[in-house]
Structure 1
Amino acid sequence: MKLSVIGCGYLGAVHAAAMASIGHDVVGIDVDQRKVDALAKGEAPFFEPGLQEILTDGIASGRLSFTTDMAAAQGAKVHFIGVGTPQVRDGYAADLTYVNAAVDALVPHLSPGDIVAGKSTVPVGTAAELTPRVEAAGAVLIWNPEFLREGFAVKDTIDPDRLVVGVGASAGDDVVETMKEVYAPAVAKGTPFIVTDLATAELVKVSANAFLATKISFINAMAEIAETVGADVTQLADAIGHDARIGRRFLGAGIGFGGGCLPKDIRAFSARAEELGKGESVAFLRQVDEINMRRRDRAVQLVVEGLGGSAFEKKIAVLGAAFKPHSDDIRDSPALDVAVRLHGLGAEVTVTDPEAIANARAKHPQLTYIEDRDAALRDADAVVVVTEWDEYRRQMPPEHVSTLTDGRIVVDGRNCLDADAWRAAGWTYYGMGRP
């Protein structure tokens, strides 16, 4: 099938390459000439495991191409909208500028019977507002939300844990069958294929993100209590996680969530609920957000406490810049936030990360960046682990770090280190919600 993907950022580029990898002919369209030029040469514009390989294969096979010309969408059966929906500058709501622009630019090139499939995360009701514009061209608008985890996005696109397709009243059975053809390999495996109305499909995505954010902030709230009474939040999480109704995943206390999805999506959900007159229904999300931000404060506080009350002119090695491992994404990164705050206290901060240094340097040039982990650790008064890369959690023995620095303060912002091993090696270990 011929497909077009409008928007070639994180979501769109992965989707376009993944669809080509399962046999479709795909054209990716974006207004950013530099991004398009890089993709057209088979160069991934960001780090995502597996993307470079399927991008290279897609270009070489001729099944995948990229352009800035919207006319290239003509002839495609399904047109995916995968543009960004960032937080507005002056509030919590989602900015739909790019979604509206993409649809308006696409409409003149649609043919009767085409399917426009929204993948962007949007406020509920957006699809209903866009439908008349799409139907005026004889096409059908559906909503097909993405559920990508950064670091696993290629797998999540090719082999998702579920597929959701929201359709309007005018969509016939042929539309659903076409979408099953688009995702034929996953459908053949028995992947749940859930057909809903448009509003439900929009809510599925934001509800999933809201739930995950709530679960993370819940255990971080328990960490705040644990710190007060001397309990261990990791043991607490293990204990309650054995309850099948709760589960252990996403019960990892630390400096909280970040990235380009969870923070802005829960804020946009709150804003949309207020517009609908149901702000009280998701009022708890404001607390979720506040708890999340407080944990960054706590990490900085632990560093200062460990250094005797002041970080001024102290050398601090911050391990991590990306908001999560297996990514170079620094959007709303708790790791970088902690580094910037320590720098603001007068510390000499050195940041290292396996993939995100270039992005971090562009955003925060005031910090010092060193690619080599051991070089970053050398002569540090304190070590702060803020992104749980394997290079830090599994491949960094405390005895080895002891040979690089006389400092013996380690703050584990992700509770990913072996506390007993670090203490046995002579380090003063500080965890999040741990005694």
Structure 2
Amino acid sequence: MIGCGYLGAVHAASMAQLGHEVVGVDVDEPKIAMLAAGRTPFFEPGFEELLAESLASGRLRFTTDFGDAAGARVHFVCVGTPQKRGEYAADLRYVESAVESLIGVLAAGELVVGKSTVPVGTAARLAELVGDKVPGAMLAWNPEFLREGFAVQDTVHPDRLVYGLPDENADTAHALLDEVYATIVAAETPKVVTDYATAEMVKTAANSFLATKISFINAMAELCEATGADVKQLADAIGHDDRIGRKFLNAGLGFGGGCLPKDIRAFMARAGELGADQALTFLREVDNINMRRRIRMVELAREVLDGSLLGKRVAVLGAAFKPESDDIRDSPALNVAAQLQLQGATVVLTDPAAIENCRKHWPQIDYADTAEEAARGADAVLLLTEWRQFRELDPVAFGKIVRQKRVLDGRNALDRDVWEAAGWSYRALGRRHAS
């Protein structure tokens, strides 16, 4: 397993659980030391237990030495593809470096499997490099579809497998992948066997579709605010149409994290390079709608706080980009909290998993260990990440802590009737509010 970040570490431990001998390779020495000691460098439900079991089995080990990858029959490339600084395009340096390092230990008959999310055309280029340098070695592309918070489940029990296979030796590569995923294949998991380009596009197309659905309902939220309609009821109504479905139709702050934002931008950039930029111009508006939600939440907070943020104490519940994660990359919640702080509010932020990550980037924000501590004396409470423990707060007891009972539901996750019955002023993006 080349790359032991979020994807690689989970995949390594999962493959060991499935019975394979696995070595995880990464250049980050502190990260490797943590993993080797059974400590997790990120928060992911179930991963700590899985890591401990896999290490105890003796089938999993971690190293910084690429030479230890020699002799493996299958080499997974699981490194990141971040957005280039100042551009929309993906930065492929880590993928290219990983493959070039592998070439030194690769042998004929072995298979390199790309799992990183890459622009279409990358696999064909890397396959040519591998074939030229190590005749008889093969490359396949096997995109990942992990959801943060469900990564272990999605690896061991995926909803589909996608194999992007070479024109030559396709049967051999196919057989090796089936051997790796034997338990998953035996469970009759749907499998799509295709070419490199299609396999590469599956992940970016899927993320683009999800991002579009999220931004669609947030665009409807903007119209609801202008017309007095209620976006939650609207979503419930259209969600009954099974062609549309209710999932991903919760209006609010929008998407963030390390995948959707950079993946749709890289998709647009690659389409432009291929001369097909008009096909994806709609994604620019998807991105714009998503970013406008953050601005609107800050405006709504100012409106609720009598027109000024200066000197107001604001409790922010949630910093991770989604619940069951400590990932704050492009987090709408943290972005809003930081803007409130910059515009004069005193922000006290809490999150069950992401506080330590936040401290590194925004030390000027005050942090609390619990929602109750964050809300003590608050002029307003903002729910920005829909952790279960925030959704299940008792508004009656919670109302005794704050200075003023004003709640802004940035994820449409609270029971409005219950909170209003407890005396709270309730506001949410795209929802009618009491006059």
**TM-score by structure 1 length?**
0.98
1:309 alignment partner, one of 300, 307, 310: 307
Look up the match of 1:202: 200
Letter of the 2:112 partner, please give it: V
Instruction: Check if 1:384 corresponds to 2:382.
Output: yes
Gap runs ≥5 in structure 1: none
Letter in structure 2 aligned against 1:252: N
Give the stretch that moved more between structures: 178-187 or 149-158: 178-187
Aligned to 2:38: 42
Who is 1:407 aligned against?
404
Partner SS state of residue 104, structure 2: helix
Take 2:116 and 2:172, find their aligned partners in 1: how far apart are those partners? Answer: 23
Residue 13 of structure 2 aligns to which amino acid in structure 1? A
Q: Give the Cα–Cα distance (whole angstroms) in 2 for the partners of residues 123 and 172 of structure 1.
A: 22
Q: Which residue of 1 aligns with 2:67?
A: 71
Which residue in the other structure is 2:254 paired with? 256
TM-fit CA distance, 1:432: 1.1
Structure 2 residue aligned with 1:101: 97
Q: Of residues 361, 364, 374 in structure 2, which corresponds to 1:363?
A: 361
Deviates more, 1:177-186 or 1:205-214: 177-186
Does residue 432 in structure 1 map to residue 420 in structure 2? no
Partner of 1:375: 373
Instruction: Tell me whether 1:133 sits opposite 2:129 in the alignment.
Output: yes
- Output the CA distance in 2 between the equivalents of 1:347 and 1:171: 62
CA distance in 2, matches of 1:198, 1:384: 45
Q: 1:32 aligns with which of 8, 28, 34?
A: 28
Give the partner amino acid of 2:412: N
CA distance in 2, matches of 1:413, 1:175: 47
Equivalent residue number for residue 5 of structure 2? 9
Runs of 4+ in structure 1 over 3 Å off: none
Partner of 1:321: 319
User: Aligned partners of 1:75 and 1:371: how far apart in 2?
Assistant: 47
Identity %: 61
Secondary structure in structure 2 of the residue aligned to 1:411: strand
Partner of 2:344: 346
Residue 222 (structure 1) aligns with:
220
Shift of the alpha carbon at 1:370? 0.8
Residue identity opposite 1:228 in structure 2 = A
Q: Who is 2:418 aligned against?
A: 421
| SS in structure 2 at match of 1:128 | helix
User: 1:406: how far off?
Assistant: 2.4
Separation in 1, partners of 2:199, 2:98: 20
For residues 163 and 228 of structure 1, what CA distance do their matches in structure 2 show? 43
State how far apart, in whole Å, the 1-side matches of 2:295 and 2:29 are: 39
- TM-superposition CA deviations, 1:124-178 (whole Å, max 9, x none): 0001111122113131011000000000000000000000000111133121121
SS in 1 for 2:241: coil
Q: Map 1:155-194 to 2 at 5 A.
A: 155-194=153-192
Per-residue CA deviations over 1:311-366 (Å, capped at 9, x if unaligned) read: 10100000001000000000000000000000011000000000000001111111
- CA displacement 1:24-58 (0-9 Å, x = unmatched): 11000000000001001111110001110110111
Q: 1:213 aligns with which of 211, 214, 217?
A: 211
Cα distance in structure 2, aligned partners of 1:406 and 1:89: 43
Distance in structure 2 (CA, Å) of the matches to 1:45 and 1:113: 34
Where in structure 2 are there 5+ consecutive unaligned residues?
Answer: none
Task: Give, in whole Å, the separation in 1 of the partners of 2:306 and 2:158.
Answer: 49
Structure 2 equivalent of residue 145 of structure 1: 143
- Which amino acid in the other structure matches residue 433 of structure 1? G
In 2, the alpha carbon distance for the partners of 1:318 and 1:172 equals 52
What displacement does 1:223 show? 0.3
- What residue is the counterpart of 1:84 in the other structure? 80
Q: How many residues align?
A: 430
Indicate the residue corresponding to 1:269 in structure 2: 267
Aligned to 1:121: 117
Find 2:52's aligned residue among 53, 56, 60. 56
Instruction: Report how far residue 93 of structure 1 moved.
Output: 0.2
1: CA distance, partners of 2:76 / 2:413: 38
1:42 match: secondary structure: coil
* Counterpart for residue 394 of structure 2: 397
* 1:191-224 residue CA offsets vs partner (Å, 9 max, x unmatched): 0111000000000000000000000000000000
Residue 373 of structure 1: how far off its partner (Å):
1.8
Tell me the secondary structure at the aligned position of residue 229 of structure 2: coil
Deviation (angstroms), 1:226 = 0.3
Residue 22 in structure 1 maps to residue 26 in structure 2 = no
Distance of 1:319 and 1:140 partners within structure 2: 48
Structure 2: distance between partners of 1:406 and 1:359: 29
Q: Which amino acid aligns with 2:11?
A: H
State the match for 1:233 in structure 2. 231
Superposed CA deviations along residues 209-258 of structure 1, whole A, max 9, x for unmatched, are: 00000000000000000000011101111111111110000011000000
Deviation at 1:422, TM superposition (A): 1.1
In the alignment, the residues of structure 1 paired with residue 129 and residue 247 of structure 2 have an alpha-carbon distance, to the nearest angstrom, of 42
- In 1, the alpha carbon distance for the partners of 2:89 and 2:13 equals 30
